[in-house]
Structure 1
Amino acid sequence: MTIPRFYPLGTPGQAWGPAEVQQWRARQVRQRSYADEVLSAVEQMRAQWDVESYGEVVYADSVHSEERFPLMALRSRSWSSALPTVLVTGGVHGYETSGVHGALRFAAEHAAAYAGRVNLLMAPCVSPWAYERIQRWNFDALDPNRSFRADSPAQESAALMRLVAPLLGQFAAHIDLHETTDTDESEYRPAVAARDGKPFEPATIPDGFYLVDDTGNPQPAFQQAILQAVERITHIAPTDGEGGIIGTPLSARGVIEYDMVGWGLCAGITGARYTSTTEVYPDSPRATPEQCVAAQVAATCAALDFVIRAASA
C-alpha cells in the first residue's frame, strides 16, 4: 500500500529516525518566554507559597546550543498530614496556554481560600521548551503526556514523577489542565502519523469543554462537579457524529475515559482516588482566551471543593 504524503517531513510509511527528528526540531521557533511569563509569575508568589525547583530540563544538539529550563513547583505552606493532598498540573503540553495560565491564576488569586483545608502541590508549566515553541512535543519529538512511566524518555515527565514520588499514597486528587486545539488536527495528528510511519486518519475537534476520566478508576460525581462549575463560564462540548468525543464513547455528558496509567498520562501518576484531565477549546468562536483561563480556574476550584466535602463526609 502506498501512503500519500501528508506531512512535510520524512518518507511516507517509514518511521522517523534521528535525521527527521532534527529536521522537525529545526522547524520549531521560539515564540514566547518561559522566564518572563512563567518564572516571573512564580517568583512573585514566594510570599504565599513554598517555591521550589524540582529539576531542570537541559536540551542541546549539534545544531542548537544548550538550553536550560528550571522546573518550578508551588507547595502549600500550611502543609498538614491531617489534610487531603491535591496535585494541580499545567503545561504538560506546552502549547496549551490556558492550562499554564489557569494554574498560575489559581495559585495567585484563589489558593489562599483553601489554606488550612487542603495541601496543594502545583506544577504550573511541566514542559517549558514546548511552552516557548507553542508545541505539544518536547525537544526530542516526544509527547510528555504519553511518557509518564518508569524510565521515561521525556525529561519533563521523569522530573514530575520524581517530585510526586515521596508523596505517593497521600494524594486525594489530581487535576491536569489541558486544551484541545485546532492544531491538534492540522499539525499534531499529521505529525504523529508521519513520525510513526502510519497513515493520517482525519478526526474532528470538539467545540467546547470536556473532561477525561480514568477507565481504571472512574469517578463520575467528581467529573460532574467540575463540569457544573465550568458550564457557568464556557460551553460543554457536544457529541460528534458517532455520539462520542474525539472518537471515544461518552461515559456521561462531557466526559470520556482513558486508561491513564496504561497510556502514560500525567493524570495517572499519583494513584489518587479523584483524577481528571480538563480540555478547553480555545479556538471556538464561542469562547475567548480569558474564558479558557477562567474555566481552568473554575475546574480547579470545583475539584478542591469536591475533595474537601468528600473528606468531611
Structure 2
Amino acid sequence: MRRLLLTCSTLGLLCSPSLYAQDLKVVSTMKPITMIVQELTQGVTSTETLLPAGASPHDYALRPSDARKLNDADLVIWVGPELERFLTKILEDKENVLTLTEQDSIHFRHYGEAHDEHAGHDHDDHGHDDHAGHDHDDHDHHGHSHDGIDPHLWLGPEQAVQAAQVITDKLVALDPAHKDKFEANLVNFIDEVKTAMVAIEQTLTPVVDRGYFVFHDGYGYFEEQFGLNNLGHFTVEPDRRPGAKTLISIRNSLKDQHAHCVFSEPQFSPAVVDSVVRGTGVNIGTLDPMGTDIAYGDGSYVEFLQTLGNSFSQCLKSE
C-alpha cells in the first residue's frame, strides 16, 4: 500500500486519505510519550515505541532495527536533542518528525532559573561539589546538559496536555479524514488529565511541606505543578554506581536538611540507596519516570501520573 501511495503522490494524483490512514505508522521514542499518543490515535491507528522497556534515553545506542523503524514511520515523535541525543543525526533530514522541544505552545522549564528557587537551594548549599561530586563534563556525556530546556515534559500534566494538542494538530495534518476522531480523543484526554490532577493534588496536599531528595533532576514539572518541597538533586546516571565522595556528600546533605525521604529510580541498586540513608532516619522511596510497570492501554498516561503521585505521598507521609 505504501508503494502505491508514493506512486500516486509522485504522479500528482489524489489518493484517498482513508487509504493513507490505514498505513499511517507513528513511532514515538519513549513509553510515556507513547502512552499520550495512544490516547490520541485510539480508534484510528496504533503507535510504536522506539526504546525498549526500562531503557534510558540518556545513553541508548541505536540499533539497525531501530533505524529501519524510524525510516518506515510516517510520523516520528521525539522530545528533542536535549534528551535523545542519539537520534539527532538520523532525524535531522527526515520529514514528518515532530520535535516537542521546538514547540512554542509548550511551556518549558529551564534549568538554572526559577526551579532552583522552588527547590529551596543553590547547588553549593549542601556541602557537595556541583551535584554531589560530578563536574560539568560528566553531565554532558550523561545524554543531556543541565542547562537550557528541561526536556522531561511528560512529567508535567499541563505540559502533557500542551504536547497532546501539538501532536493532534500533526495527526490531523497527516490524516485529515480522521480529524473529528483525533480531536474527540484529545478532548477526552484533556478531561482525564484534569480530573487526575485534582485527585493527585488532594493526595499530595498533606505532604507538600515535607522535604526530600532525588538522585536525578528530572521531576521538576511534576514538583512545580503540585508544589512539592524538593531539597536537592544529584545527577547520577541510573546505571552508574555513585562514588564514595558522592555518597558522603549525599549523606551529609540528608543530615543537614532533615529530609523525610530519598527517592531512587528502578535502575538504582537498592544497596547503594541503603548506604546513602543508613543512620539518617530518612525513608526510601522509588520514582519511575518511564512508567516501566504500567501496561499500555486506555488511561495508561493518567495511571502513570497517579502512580507517581502515590509514590511521593507514600514515602513522604511515613514517619
For the criterion TM > 0.5, the same-fold answer is no
- What is the TM-score when the length of structure 1 is the normalising length? 0.24
Instruction: Point out which structure has higher relative CO (alpha carbons under 8 A, 6+ apart).
Output: 1
Name the structure with the higher strand share: 1
Highest Rg: 1 or 2?
2
- What is the TM-score when the length of structure 2 is the normalising length? 0.23
Name the structure with the higher helix share: 2
